[in-house]
Amino acid sequence: MGELVLTTYDWVPEFPRGYVRDLRARWALEEAGLPYRMAYTPFDNRPADMLAHQPFNQVPWLTDSGVNYFESGAIVLHIASKSDRLLPADPKARADAVSWLFAAVNSMEPAIMPWFILSLSPEKDSGAMSIFAGHLQQRLDRLEAVVASRDWLAGAFSAADIMTADALRLADRLGGLSAHPACKAYVDRATARPAFRKAHADQMAHFAAADGLRAG
Amino acid sequence: MGELVLTTYDWVPEFPRGYVRDLRARWALEEAGLPYRMAYTPFDNRPADMLAHQPFNQVPWLTDSGVNYFESGAIVLHIASKSDRLLPADPKARADAVSWLFAAVNSMEPAIMPWFILSLSPEKDSGAMSIFAGHLQQRLDRLEAVVASRDWLAGAFSAADIMTADALRLADRLGGLSAHPACKAYVDRATARPAFRKAHADQMAHFAAADGLRAG
């Protein structure tokens, strides 16, 4: 098996810690039990060759024996394809898991982000906010019915739950799940998994150690 | 080979015609040269069992020998996996294509949609609009450099170009590519392909015929 190397920033400010998207990849790697190593790229002065790995000048990216993946969805799907723990073998369940993984990145997260961004801005009580808050509530209403009826989106826990639960964590961070208790319980269920806890602790420890290096 | 059935609405109002997301799936199917048939679900009175195919009560969905896919990204990726015309065989190019496909749904389209929605709302000159317009410009700036240097995102034309170009069409519809001529030229290049033209004409013809049935 080739070497898996996951790259994230060498340091980030306090606010994004615990939410930088290498978390999703770490979580998937821990669930899959695949060996990997971390690599770091400067947050402050981003080298020009970073664009060859990630064309939007962001993190994370993953290399698998030198083959480069960017976008957390593509990275998690690739990790999932290497393990029977993150994608079901049954064709119907597998199609469901891949569909839900895309729902996380193209239906749920895009409904959460505008609401999240405006919640932290001077526009938090604006007319635009009511448009995006309404859209988010519609999406959460649909998801609520699903996760009230089953623990995981595609039957067994899958890569779709990593992507969905991590997107929902952002909404939860600002109280956005308060009217959707089944969504909140789903996030709590997902983040109680040992693989999430390890991934989260590892990210937090890395950035905390980076503070020490900066101060030194 | 199993039967591919793509489901869209029986009718939609004028404004979304030519942009309903079954277009992406039709386009991919035409590029791949795979036989398929269309099926239709009511736009006005959506049957309860629609949620079993599409949990957000939207279209499209695709069944392949009875296996159900929803989310345009999942559908197009599945179609692409059945053809050598939409995903390169070389591992590096293939990883690049899948990564760009996720970039379309999770980096480009989510930057376009808030801008598009506010552009059509009373909030079009708001502070929120300037936040989202700025974010869209940043994304387009990065994409501009890429599509100025090559015709297609992953070397040869791929599923990533279907998803990216169709997302950019929404921005282009409201003049959002005016400061990004290479992005505009990329959309023009993609939509000049016979497979896009066939897919677009088929969708437009279907909805036009549905008007006739309603009027009758």
CATH node for B91-193: 1.20.1050.10
* Record: contact A70-B109, CB cut-off 8 A: no
Kindly report the nearest CA distance between residue B104 and chain A, in angstroms: 9
Domain boundary assignment for chain A: 4-84+195-215, 91-192
pLDDT in tens, B23-58: 999 999 999 999 999 999 999 999 999 999 999 999
Chain A residues 171-200 with CB within 8 Å of chain B:
none
- What Cα–Cα distance (Å) separates residue A189 from each residue in A33, A120, A147, A169, B215? 20, 27, 11, 12, 51
Question: Is the complex ipTM higher than 0.95?
Answer: yes
CB pairs under 8 A between A and B: 136
For chain B, say whether A142 makes contact (Cβ under 8 Å): yes
Q: How much helix, strand and coil, in percent to the nearest 5, is found in chain B? A: 60, 10, 30
- Given an 8 Å threshold on Cβ–Cβ distance, is B99 in contact with A127? no
Angle (CA) A54-A56-A57 rounded to 5° is 70
Partner residue opposite B106 with nearest CB, options A68, A106, A145: A106
Q: What is the DSSP letter of B107?
A: I
- Please say whether the beta carbons of A174 and A119 come within 8 A: yes
What was the pLDDT predicted at B216?
A: 56
Query: Identical fold at B4-84+195-215 and B91-193?
Result: no
The sheet carrying A4-9 orders its strands as: A37-41, A4-9, A61-64, A67-70
CATH code of the domain made up of A91-192: 1.20.1050.10
Contacts of A156 (CB under 8 A, 6+ apart): A88, A93
Q: pLDDT tens digits, chain B, 216 residues: what are they?
A: 579 999 999 999 999 999 999 999 999 999 999 999 999 999 999 999 999 999 999 999 999 999 999 999 999 999 999 999 999 999 999 999 999 999 999 999 999 999 999 999 999 999 999 999 999 999 999 999 999 999 999 999 999 999 999 999 999 999 999 999 999 999 999 999 999 999 999 999 999 999 988 765
Closest-CA distance, A59 to chain B, in angstroms, reads 12
Q: How far apart are CA A79 and CA A99, in angstroms?
A: 16
Closest CB from B73, B110, B131 relative to A121: B131
Collect all residues of chain B within an 8 Å Cβ-Cβ radius of residue A146.
55
Contacts of B2 in chain A (CB under 8 A): none
Tokens of B70: 């929803």
Asked if residue B84 lies in contact with residue B34, where contact means CB atoms within 8 angstroms, the answer is no
DSSP labels, A158-194: -HHHHHHHHHHHHHHHTTTTTT-HHHHHHHHHHHTSH
Q: Which of A151, A154, A150, A146 is closest to A97 using CA atoms?
A: A154
A148-198 pLDDT, tens digit per residue, is: 999 999 999 999 999 999 999 999 999 999 999 999 999 999 999 999 999
A4-84+195-215: what fold? Answer: Glutaredoxin (3.40.30)
